[in-house]
């Protein structure tokens, strides 16, 4: 039996939030002579650790917002802490209950504990443990605005001769690789049936190796010649959204995803089922590497 994405990914966090709200709506049982650091605080710690995981599971598996998906850990922490605070405010108005500052602290500690564990696990998986430890300290401030618009000079080759004739910079000592690639059709009903519903997301990592002369500033990097390669045709010279981040002194992250105002699909042909993406990673307008992603299946998200 196929479970719809909403029931599988998003309903659990909704039900868990509802359960917390309902439980907090009843008068509190008597807890005389129980110290502050009691089973109650442990229950808060565990409950909000679970809530953090459910928020993360939901945000990581949604396809409406690239930012929410990419920063699922950080937004899960934010949403969990905010829900804990609002729950204590809610209890202030419930008879025989009261908002407890220490309960909110226990909620926050439970969420933050799992955040650290998840950050380390995911970073080890991608071989970036050192950056993860630093990321625990700066992650919330990092969200305030590290994305950039593509710098001036972005271009697409006007013909195949100029495309294949680009000369690649040699001996740069960089590790450039595809970190994530996804593609899907947004099948949610819309008012305008002619509106484009094709979505994609490509994430590129550029790591500086020893003895590299490349200056790892985000304004030095860009993407050009982005091509969407379907089995039957190729889409090129279409506007896309580019975000460039400096994640450390030796690392640049590049994200390329759809522009909601652009149509990428040829509706005169059958809907494609697979796709791969080709793009040039540039440094100060010169070609660093021509990247080709693996072929991925195009999902349908309802």
Secondary structure (H, E, C), 98-131: CCCHHHHHHHHHHHHHHHHHHHHHHHHHCCCHHH
Residues 127 and 212 in one domain: no
Residues 112 and 203 in one domain: no
- Look at residue 149 and tell me if it is in a domain: no
Provide the Cα torsion 218, 222, 227, 229; round to 10°.
-30
d(CA 10, CA 149): 32
d(CA 255, CA 182): 12
Nearest to 225 by CA among 166, 168, 278: 278
Residues 170 and 118 in one domain: no
- Look at residue 148 and tell me if it is in a domain: no
d(CA 56, CA 13): 9
Residues 34 and 95 in one domain: yes
Residues 133 and 174 in one domain: no
pLDDT per position in the chain (302 positions), as tens? 445 677 888 899 999 999 999 988 887 665 555 454 567 788 899 999 999 999 998 998 877 777 788 788 999 999 999 999 999 898 888 887 777 888 889 999 999 999 999 888 876 654 444 444 344 434 433 433 343 444 433 456 667 778 888 888 877 889 999 999 999 998 877 646 667 889 999 999 999 998 888 999 989 999 999 999 999 999 999 999 999 999 999 999 999 999 988 999 998 999 999 999 999 999 988 899 999 999 999 998 87
Nearest to 44 by CA among 78, 88, 89, 97: 88
- Look at residue 38 and tell me if it is in a domain: yes
- Is residue 257 a contact partner of residue 241, using CB atoms and an 8 Å limit? yes
- Is residue 207 a contact partner of residue 260, using CB atoms and an 8 Å limit? no
Q: What confidence score (pLDDT) does residue 3 get?
A: 56
- Look at residue 153 and tell me if it is in a domain: no
Residues 102 and 179 in one domain: no
d(CA 172, CA 210): 10
Residue 168 pairs with which residues in a beta bridge? 287
Residues 170 and 294 in one domain: yes
Q: What confidence score (pLDDT) does residue 150 get?
A: 40
Domain of 296, CATH number, reads 2.60.40
- Which of the listed residues 84, 109, 142 is the one where a domain comes to its end? 142
Nearest to 36 by CA among 102, 107, 113: 102
- Look at residue 154 and tell me if it is in a domain: no
In total, how many domains does the chain have?
2
Q: What confidence score (pLDDT) does residue 204 get?
A: 96
Looking at residue 159, the DSSP 8-state letter turns out to be S
- In the block, residue with structure tokens 């000592």: 173
Q: What confidence score (pLDDT) does residue 179 get?
A: 93
d(CA 294, CA 296): 6
Residues 277 and 220 in one domain: yes
Residues 175 and 288 in one domain: yes
Cβ atoms < 10 Å from Cβ of 247: 19
- Which of the listed residues 111, 142, 173 is the one where a domain comes to its end? 142
d(CA 25, CA 93): 9
Residues 220 and 297 in one domain: yes
- Look at residue 259 and tell me if it is in a domain: yes
Domain span at 45: 5-142
d(CA 181, CA 299): 12
Cα angle for residues 235, 233, 227 (degrees, 5° grid): 30
Q: What confidence score (pLDDT) does residue 55 get?
A: 93
- Is residue 245 a contact partner of residue 253, using CB atoms and an 8 Å limit? yes
Q: What confidence score (pLDDT) does residue 191 get?
A: 47
d(CA 49, CA 9): 17
Residues 124 and 196 in one domain: no
- Which of the listed residues 113, 142, 171 is the one where a domain comes to its end? 142
Q: What confidence score (pLDDT) does residue 52 get?
A: 95
Residues 64 and 91 in one domain: yes
**DSSP β-ladder status, 299-301 and 174-186:** parallel
Kindly provide the residue ranges of all beta strands, DSSP E only, lying in 121-220, ordered along the sequence: 174-186, 198-208
- Look at residue 186 and tell me if it is in a domain: yes
- Look at residue 150 and tell me if it is in a domain: no
d(CA 133, CA 121): 11
Q: What confidence score (pLDDT) does residue 138 get?
A: 40
Q: What confidence score (pLDDT) does residue 131 get?
A: 47
């Amino acid at each position: 039996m196929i479970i719809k994405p909403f029931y599988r990914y998003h309903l659990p966090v909704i039900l868990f939030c509802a359960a917390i709200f309902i439980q907090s709506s009843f008068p509190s049982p008597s807890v005389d002579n129980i110290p502050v650091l009691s089973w109650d605080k442990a229950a808060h710690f565990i409950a909000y650790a679970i809530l953090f995981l459910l928020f993360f599971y939901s945000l990581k598996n949604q396809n409406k917002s690239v930012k929410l998906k990419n920063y699922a850990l950080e937004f899960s922490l934010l949403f969990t802490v905010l829900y804990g605070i609002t729950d204590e405010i809610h209890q202030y108005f419930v008879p025989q209950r009261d908002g407890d500052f220490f309960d909110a602290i226990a909620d926050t500690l439970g969420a933050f504990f799992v955040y650290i564990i998840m950050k380390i696990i995911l970073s080890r998986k991608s071989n970036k443990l050192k950056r993860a430890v630093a990321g625990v300290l700066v992650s919330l401030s990092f969200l305030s605005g590290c994305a950039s618009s593509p710098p001036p000079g972005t271009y697409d080759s006007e013909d195949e001769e100029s495309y294949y004739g680009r000369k690649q910079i040699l001996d740069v000592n960089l590790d450039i690789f595809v970190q994530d690639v996804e593609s899907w059709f947004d099948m949610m009903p819309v008012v305008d049936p002619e509106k484009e519903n094709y979505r994609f997301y490509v994430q590129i990592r550029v790591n500086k190796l020893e003895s590299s002369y490349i200056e790892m500033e985000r304004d030095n990097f860009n993407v050009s010649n982005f091509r969407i390669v379907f089995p039957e045709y190729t889409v090129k010279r279409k506007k896309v959204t580019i975000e460039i981040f400096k994640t450390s002194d030796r690392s640049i992250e590049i994200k390329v995803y759809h522009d909601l105002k652009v149509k990428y699909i040829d509706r005169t042909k059958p809907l494609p089922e697979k796709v791969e993406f080709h793009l040039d990673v540039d440094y100060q307008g010169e070609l660093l590497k021509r990247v080709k992603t693996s072929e991925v299946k195009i999902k349908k998200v309802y």
